[in-house]
Amino acid sequence: MTSSTSRTTDAGRDEVLVGVVVRVHGLRGEVVVEPRTDEPRERFATGSVLHGRHRRAPGPGPLVVAAARAHSGRWLVLFEGVSDRDAAEALRGVQLVLPTAELAEPDDAEEFHVHQLTGLRVELTDGTPAGTVRDVVHGPGGSLLVVARPAGHEAMVPFVAAIVPEVDVAGGRIVLDPPDGLLDPED
């Protein structure tokens, strides 16, 4: 099981976060982007239009990718109209988002977009409520569901078929069959 795009924005479910500009690279307007997507080659392809948002202020609006390349686990991206270090510096901290309406449905029935999972109720195989999906985190070992538990803590649940036997997006729920202790609070 995988999720093809990572995280919804604070603005809600109508946009997904695909990257964050973390710093400037060089003198010609290139920026370093921390990807938040499983598909960075597609999201940062030349000609792609992303929307820039700041957490607390209006963002720069639409940004068109002029060039992009992978670099040490991150992406170096050049946007049209950003041709020097000063212009690139203004993008530091910008969240790059994409409207969910622009996302194609995954081809694989076992693949989901994060915005489809976020907010789903979580229950155990016997129907016992287990919480709500708050986020999906992508790590080197695979994806993890961040489940807000009724007791107030969060549990990190490996998003694998053995533990997550059912994802019912239309029904608004995910069924878990967790090993003992997985949903317990950390000490």
Beta bridge partners of 132: 121, 148
The pTM for the full model equals: 0.61
**Which tens digit of pLDDT belongs to each residue from 37-88?**
878 998 999 999 999 988 766 678 899 999 999 998 899 999 999 999 999 9
Name every residue whose Cβ is closer than 8 Å to that of residue 159 and which is 6 or more positions away in sequence. Answer: 1, 2, 3, 136, 142, 143, 144, 145
Ordered by where they begin, the domains of the chain are 9-102 (2.40.30.60), 119-176 (2.30.30.240)
Q: In this predicted structure, what is the pLDDT of residue 70?
A: 94
pLDDT the model gives residue 120: 93
pLDDT at 6: 38
The more confident residue out of 100 and 128 is: 128
> For the segment 75-102, what is each residue's pLDDT rounded down to a tens digit?
999 999 999 999 999 999 999 988 876 7
Q: What is the DSSP string of 75-126?
A: EEEEETT--SHHHHHTTTTPEEEEEGGGSPPPSSTTEE-HHHHTT-EEEETT
Structure tokens at 147: 């489940």
CB 10 within 8 A of CB 55: yes
Average pLDDT over residues 10-36: 84
